[in-house]
Amino acid sequence: MNVQSYYKKLQEINKLAVSPRIIESGQGAYLTINGKELLNFCSSHYLGLAVDERLKKAVKDAVDKYGVGTGYRTLAGTHVLHIELEKAIAQLKGTEAAVVFTSAYMANCAAIQTIIGKEDIVISDELNHASIIDAIRLSQVKNKFIYKHTDAKSLEEQLKQASLLAQTPKSDGKTPVILIITDGVFSMDGDLAPLPQIVKLAKKYGALTMVDDAHGEGVLGKGGRGIVDHFGLLGKVDIEIGSLSKAFSTIGGFIAGKKTLIDFYNQKARQRLFSIALTIPDTAAALEAVRILQESDAVVKKLWDNVSYIKSEFKKLGFDVGHSQTPITPVMLGDEEIAKKFSVRLFEEGIFATPIVFPMVAKDKARIRVIPSAIHSKKDLDFAIKAFEKVAKELKVL
């Protein structure tokens, strides 16, 4: 293949791509697209902090005091704000320590690659996030087991095989590490990992546990501590991955756990050693968001009031909202074309809610993924409910 034909092939592929809507405003209860104000009903800013005045002030104050840029954490990039943020995250999560990365994607890659070698063993839920899948590939681990989605029985079957495999020492004479990895909240359906069973099985078979709680922080557990606290398992999960771009409405990710493990990541994680640290404004915003949760759970309670209301009203109308246990509310439609038409009509009615279709979900599982926020008023929710009912009747999907 010559260069010209290569670019022509890329051009043909690009023609099939769907361009995202361009946002012209902040990510509040409403946002602006093409000059039109629409109810923001699909972003994962669960607590509405993207336009919060406290975060804005924290950013302005930090930039006035420290400027904008940072640097490599191992050279001249570790700032006092990074240390404060990591301490605050550990306090919120109820762990001994935490380390921050530029994204949760990088945190997942670091968490796995740093401690897992080619001869170790990984056991992963079949619906884990793409960042987990990529992180496992990056580790180059040869022994990979997949268990059925949230199925503890299937997990134990894989653990039995892994345990037999682990009886053979690695080439350096050490015993292979077994690591069980799961999302905490699965982002397409809003269901939860069976963490109590996972922890119990991990203890039985001598495995480490890792949970990606990107959609759990600020949402689940006491004061938004996350899924580990939700199930009363503080201190019993080895590796907790978090995102600062969901409920905290900024950017970045982190690993939280025992101090010994976090110290090791600080020394060895390539994603920390060879990447620029979070900028001053990003760090200041994230720190303020964590402080808001530490001070009060009022915003978390407001989120759940809105979640309960929207799910109840959708069910009354006859919508199938799946088996979600979180704010993620899938309005199941099945047919991809219907889902796309539904989203277009919602847009015309003043609601921004995108369709979720293959390959993000199975071909017969298309849906509109609704995510209410703490920033929405009851008036906002009623407006959305009426629009959903109107469009559903037009498309005859109820």
Q: Are residues 309 and 166 in the same domain?
A: no
Are residues 282 and 367 located together in one domain of the fold? Answer: no
Q: 288 lies in a domain?
A: yes
CB proximity list for 119: less than 8 A, separation 6 or greater: 141, 142, 143, 170, 171, 176
CA distance 300 to 296: 9
- Same-domain check for residues 318 and 373: yes
Query: Residue 211 belongs to what domain range?
Result: 53-295
Number of domains in the chain: 2
Residue 2 has pLDDT above 90, yes or no: no
The answer to whether residues 199 and 237 touch, using CB atoms and an 8 Å cutoff, is yes
Torsion of CA 307, 27, 214, 108, to 10 degrees: 160
Q: What is the pLDDT of residues 254-284, one digit of tens each?
A: 999 999 999 999 999 999 999 999 999 999 9
Q: Does residue 1 have a pLDDT over 70?
A: no
**Does residue 246 carry a catalytic annotation?**
yes
CATH number, residue 41? 3.90.1150.10
Cβ atoms 46, 259 nearer than 8 A: no
Q: Which residue has the tokens 């001994």?
A: 96
Per-residue confidence at 133, pLDDT binned at 50, 70, 90? very high
8 lies in a domain? no
Catalytic residue among 131, 187, 243, 245: 187
Q: Is residue 258 assigned to a domain? A: yes
Residue at a domain's end among 276, 295, 314:
295
142 annotated active-site: no
Q: Which pLDDT score is estimated for 394?
A: 96
Q: What does the pLDDT read at residue 32?
A: 96
387 lies in some domain: yes
Q: How many CB atoms lie within 10 A of CB 169?
A: 11
* Residue of 246, 311, 365, 376 with catalytic role: 246
141 and 240, same structural domain? yes
335 and 362 inside one domain: yes
Residue 309 sits at φ, ψ, to 5 deg, of -65, -50
Say if residue 389 is in the same domain as residue 323: yes
When pLDDT is cut at 50, 70 and 90, the band that residue 359 belongs to is confident
139, 122 in Cβ contact below 8 A?
yes
β-strands 253-257, 239-243: how paired? antiparallel
Do 320 and 270 belong to one domain?
Answer: no
Residues 236 and 115 in one domain: yes
Q: Is the pLDDT of residue 37 over 70?
A: yes
How do residues 105-120 score in pLDDT, each as one tens digit?
Answer: 999 999 999 999 999 9
Per-residue pLDDT at 330 exceeds 90: yes
In a domain, 6, yes or no: no
User: Can you give the CATH number for the domain in which 276 is found?
Assistant: 3.40.640.10
The chain-wide mean pLDDT, for the chain, equals 95
Q: Is the confidence at residue 326, as pLDDT, over 80?
A: yes
Catalytic position from the list 215, 230, 365, 376:
215
pLDDT in tens, 366-388: 999 999 999 999 999 999 999 99
240 and 337 belong to one structural domain = no
Assess whether 287 and 301 both reside in one domain.
Answer: no
Identify the domain boundary among 266, 295, 324. Answer: 295
Per residue in 139-176, pLDDT (tens digit) is: 999 999 999 999 999 999 999 999 999 999 999 999 99
Whether residue 281 sits in one domain with residue 268: yes
Element containing residue 131 per DSSP (H, E)? helix 130-139
Tell whether 15 is covered by a domain: no
Q: Is the pLDDT of residue 188 over 90?
A: no
In a domain, 13, yes or no: no
Give the separation between CA 143 and CA 163, rounded to whole angstroms.
11
pLDDT tens-place string over residues 118-127? 999 999 999 9
Amino acid in position 256? A
Report the C-alpha gap between 218 and 215 in whole angstroms: 8
Q: What is the pLDDT of residue 63?
A: 98
Shared domain check, 213 and 170 = yes
**Which residue, 248, 276, 295, sits at the end of a domain?**
295
Beta bridge partners of 28: none
Q: What is the pLDDT averaged over residues 70-80?
A: 92
User: 58 has which bridge partners?
Assistant: none
